[in-house]
Amino acid sequence: MQRIQKGEAVYQVSESAGCNPFTCQTVYNDATCLASGLCGRPDPMPTTTSTTTTPAPEPTTTTPAPQPTTATASLPTTTNYESLVLVTKLNEYREKVAKGVYATQQGYLSPSQTMFELLRNKNLEAWANEATKDCRGLEVAPSGGSMNIYTISLPVELPSDTMITIAVSAWMSEMNLPAGHVSSAQQNFANMMYYKSSLVGCSYQKCMKWGSYLYSIACAFDQSIQKGEAIYQASESAGCNPFTCQTVYNDATCLASGLCGRPDPMPTTTSTTTTPAPEPTTTTPDSLATTTTSAPPTTTTTP
């Protein structure tokens, strides 16, 4: 139990409303930022769930033991669909910023000629899955990378598309300063818009806890913005060109979307399968034909 000391401030006043993971951990190392805007700590006396077995009565009737119950039940986790929707949403916002058409309270953000498209990456997706496991909102991040997490409890069930839009919009809404500047309260926006990031992996998890729906959404990025570094390089011209992209990475190209692109480090290969000819049953030439079936080429959708 804590008790305020004589002459000590009741609480620390700040310019930004509500918590973020970094401010919470300046007080306690094990603290996290909750969806309510308050900081939270692990319960030192967690509630355990017990299971009671009812003995069977006389041989004439047998009463089975009840099933064990848990405080939190995970529902089906991320599917390929949710992962793609998250990556698409992120790139839509990055494209708007690069083209100078994203508006804030102060007006439109400056465009950029060096904003990179995010490619879906399975390794980073594994990190995001760990962060959302059982809807814990675990603060983890890949080496050299960064992580955005959004967790909220609701009394009603909402479609995954709706929750993804809410989460990504919440990260973007942290931006309320002129382009290229960031405060500690804008870390999610900074991670999401850091121009050097080119790989991302996202996860979506829905759980049940005490009758409410708990949603946890996370995206892991391959790069992490450094202290004092600009979120992106602002420019007078909107969108990329081949020369500006290669000032960041030598293997970069300029995409039609206005974003810079890099080769996929984990490309999907297209294979060709040959179906053997059937055994000859008649003298009809068609029965001896060999059919070659090619797998459809892999396509990449650029928002």
- pLDDT tens digits for range 17-27: 777 766 777 78
114 in Cβ contact with 240 (< 8 Å): yes
**Which residue in 1, 168, 5 sits closest to 94, CA to CA?**
168
pLDDT digits (tens, 9 = 90+) for 53-70: 445 555 444 444 444 334
CATH 3.40.33.10 in the chain, residue ranges:
72-107+118-232
Give the burial class of 303: count Cβ atoms within 10 A of its Cβ; 0-12 exposed, 13-18 middle, 19 or more buried: middle
Q: What is the pTM of this model?
A: 0.63
d(CA 233, CA 231): 7
Helix/strand/coil for 217: strand
Measured in degrees and rounded to the nearest 5, phi and psi for residue 206 equal -120, 130
Per-residue model confidence as pLDDT tens digits over 79-93: 789 999 999 999 999
- Superfamily for the 72-107+118-232 domain: CAP (3.40.33.10)
**Under a CB-based contact definition with an 8 Å cutoff, are residues 238 and 258 in contact?**
yes
Distance separating alpha carbons of residues 218 and 202, to the nearest angstrom: 6
pLDDT per position as a tens digit, 172-227: 988 865 444 555 678 999 999 999 999 999 999 999 988 899 999 999 999 999 88
